[in-house]
A = this chain, B = another copy of it.
């Protein structure tokens, strides 16, 4: 099957049919009409077989996830998703695989209003690069450099589930939990929920935001560095799912929450003056959120547990990177 046949059959017209797409797949470039008075947010992520996913990942999960991780970047800026390009490299043309992959990708694209406007299919070791485009009102994007002394630190959802889900997928974790609980943890790895609506809701409240892809310990450092501040995190406040705690116990759950990675939740900071508005605003976004600490002066990250200094255990855990 030739390249353009693959595109025609499995990808043309996928995702949302948007009126701002002037020329769709099938010409040398796609042409789109950016909205007026908005900035364009652009992000690009690659998933490589054996680096980011196992060869036997369900193709539907892979199709979903490769867009989800990109949408998470848009979410952290507060941008509204619009268009994507897909670069798909495959060792062979497996029609059953392509149909499932394409379905997973279409499902999430339609849900978040993303139109697939172009791409490239090539032969080679399996990998997927998506470049996603979103729009955000001028001057309203959340960035990593706005955290200030005294701002409160929040995260959406729960942390650590995805990393334990991966352990279960790899068969590296033996635990006595229900099939439903295992399914939940595995799905948190395969089908992360990009916090797109929450991100947009936070635009007028948060002083900074970042999505959690490497674990909060790693990701918050980007905020601290760019904002030139320090932070205190109270690990007893980390939001942990019951499934996670049941699977690995409270102590390990904290470690997974700190540095497991691939949560694709948002970490954001909110000035004291905006805390009142936060609850109302995020209620509409349908996502839980938890205060886990506070920004301080300096440039250090301090972990506390019930007021005492806390040192995370080395998980000896090589998450996909």
Contact = CB atoms under 8 A, between A and B. Distances in A.
Nearest to A30: B42
Given A34-B40, A226-B26, A48 B85 contact: no
A49 B28 CA distance: 23
Contact of A131 (B31, B122, B131, B209): B131
Contacts of A31: 39-42, 77, 136, 141
A87 B87 contact: yes
A33 B23 contact: no
Given A39-B33, A131-B85, A143 B46 contact: no
A29 B43 CA distance: 5
A22 interface: yes
Given A123-B51, A321-B3, A87 B28 contact: no
Contact of A89 (B36, B74, B127): B127
Interface in A181-229: 209-211, 226
A165 interface: no
Nearest to A69: B120
Contacts of A123: 48, 51, 321
A117 interface: yes
The oligomer's copy count stands at: 2
A65 to B, nearest CB: 14
A129 interface: yes
Contacts of A41: 29-31
Interface residues of A, number: 62
Interface string A131-142: 101101010010
A59 interface: no
B129 A27 contact: no
A46 B126 CA distance: 12
Contact of A23 (B23, B51, B141): B141
A192 to B, nearest CB: 15
A82 to B, nearest CB: 10
B124 A42 contact: no
Nearest to A74: B29
A119 interface: yes
17 contacts: A28-B43, A28-B77, A28-B210, A29-B41, A29-B77, A29-B141, A31-B141, A33-B40, A40-B40, A46-B129, A48-B89, A48-B124, A48-B125, A50-B124, A89-B127, A120-B129, A125-B125
Given A27-B143, A32-B39, 16 more contacts: A22-B39, A27-B226, A28-B73, A28-B76, A31-B42, A31-B141, A33-B39, A34-B40, A42-B83, A42-B117, A43-B118, A47-B122, A48-B89, A120-B129, A122-B321, A129-B129
Interface of A: 3, 22-23, 26-34, 36, 39-52, 72-74, 76-77, 79, 83, 85-87, 89, 117-120, 122-125, 127, 129, 131, 133-134, 136, 138, 141, 143-145, 209-211, 226, 321
